[in-house]
């Protein structure tokens, strides 16, 4: 075989891929500017989910929680898009078309490269906002209700931790009868935990936390499991009260619930304030 044949074939094979990658990068930026920048663009003072760099493709591609170059099926960004979670169903700009999804998938599959020269031509978030369509009344209401997650969630956190502390004191003093304080905290904690978890899902569905998808996944599922355990613990406490006995099962459930509550709250704080919030 001629010594020039292999390099020639490599050029024929690689050149179209490079061209496709550059073209995909340009198209992806255009799609993100049209569909995503209104909530996650660089011009916003408080972008949703602390994800305000959707038009900065190199930064998006460099985030391993979002994109794994050449492996779209393992990339959280593609998973969210493919499941129609992003943009959310109530997005003012509407969902992505099948063709737009394929462009984004191709961009990741070809290495998630970028053509910096195209960034100046991309529409800004402000330009795209003027083309938005108003939300339906029901969608606007659901998005508004989800915001109450941030206010309601503090009550079950405080109540469950207070219940655990009171139960620990009762155990230390070797009291044999159930604590009314523990029952009171668990009742209110269970009543608040269930809607707090549900509102958290609505809050996430509106695009909050999308900048840290793995952290968001852990937070909302752990919160859901914690709410279920809190309800079970409250029911167990009522059973012990009727029996007139403090069972080891209640202490175990309450300890697990308190640990999960603290962990879920910590993950929520990281989502809201960022991983560097406690840096000294």
Assess whether 123 and 146 both reside in one domain: no
Output the pLDDT for position 131. Answer: 46
Lowest mean pLDDT, pick from 80-89, 186-195, 247-256, 271-280:
271-280
Helix extents (H) in the chain: 5-35, 37-40, 57-61, 76-82, 98-109, 125-129, 137-146, 149-152, 154-172, 180-205, 213-243, 248-273
119 lies in some domain: yes
Phi (first) and psi of residue 130, to 5 degrees: -65, -20
Output the pLDDT for position 135. Answer: 60
Lowest mean pLDDT, pick from 152-156, 210-214, 266-270:
210-214
Number of domains in the chain: 2
Domain ends where: 104, 133, 162? 133
Q: Domain of 41? A: 5-133
DSSP structure class, residue 280? -
Average pLDDT over the chain reads 80
What is the spatial distance between Cα 47 and Cα 274, in angstroms, rounded to a whole number? 13
229 or 94: which carries more pLDDT confidence? 229
Confidence label for 90 from pLDDT (cuts 50, 70 and 90): low
Output the pLDDT for position 123. Answer: 45
214 lies in some domain: yes
Output the pLDDT for position 175. Answer: 85
Domain ends where: 133, 152, 169? 133
Q: Does residue 167 surpass a pLDDT of 70?
A: yes
Domain ends where: 133, 167, 189? 133
Q: Does residue 151 surpass a pLDDT of 60?
A: yes
280 lies in some domain: no
């Amino acid at each position: 075989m001629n010594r020039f044949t292999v390099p020639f074939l490599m050029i024929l094979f690689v050149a179209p891929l490079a061209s496709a990658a550059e073209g995909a990068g340009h198209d992806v930026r255009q799609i993100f500017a049209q569909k995503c920048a209104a909530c996650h663009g660089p011009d916003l003072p408080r972008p949703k989910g602390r994800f305000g760099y959707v038009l900065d493709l190199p930064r998006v591609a460099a985030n391993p929680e979002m994109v794994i170059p050449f492996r779209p099926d393992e990339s959280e960004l593609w998973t969210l898009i493919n499941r129609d979670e992003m943009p959310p169903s109530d997005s003012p700009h509407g969902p992505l078309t099948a063709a737009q999804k394929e462009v984004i998938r191709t961009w990741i599959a070809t290495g998630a490269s970028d053509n910096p020269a195209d960034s100046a031509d991309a529409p800004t978030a402000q330009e795209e906002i003027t083309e938005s369509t108003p939300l339906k009344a029901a969608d606007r209401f659901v998005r508004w209700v989800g915001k109450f997650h941030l206010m309601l969630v503090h009550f079950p956190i405080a109540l469950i931790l207070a219940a655990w502390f009171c139960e620990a004191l009762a155990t230390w003093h070797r009291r044999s009868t159930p604590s009314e304080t523990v029952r009171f905290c668990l009742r209110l904690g269970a009543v608040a935990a269930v809607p707090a978890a549900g509102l958290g899902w609505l809050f996430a569905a509106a695009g909050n936390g999308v900048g840290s998808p793995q952290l968001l996944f852990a937070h909302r599922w752990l919160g859901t499991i914690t709410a279920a355990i809190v309800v079970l613990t409250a029911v167990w406490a009522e059973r012990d009260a009727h029996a007139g006995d403090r069972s080891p099962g209640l202490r175990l459930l309450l300890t697990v619930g308190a640990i999960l509550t603290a962990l879920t709250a910590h993950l929520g704080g990281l989502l809201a304030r960022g991983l560097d919030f406690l840096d000294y």
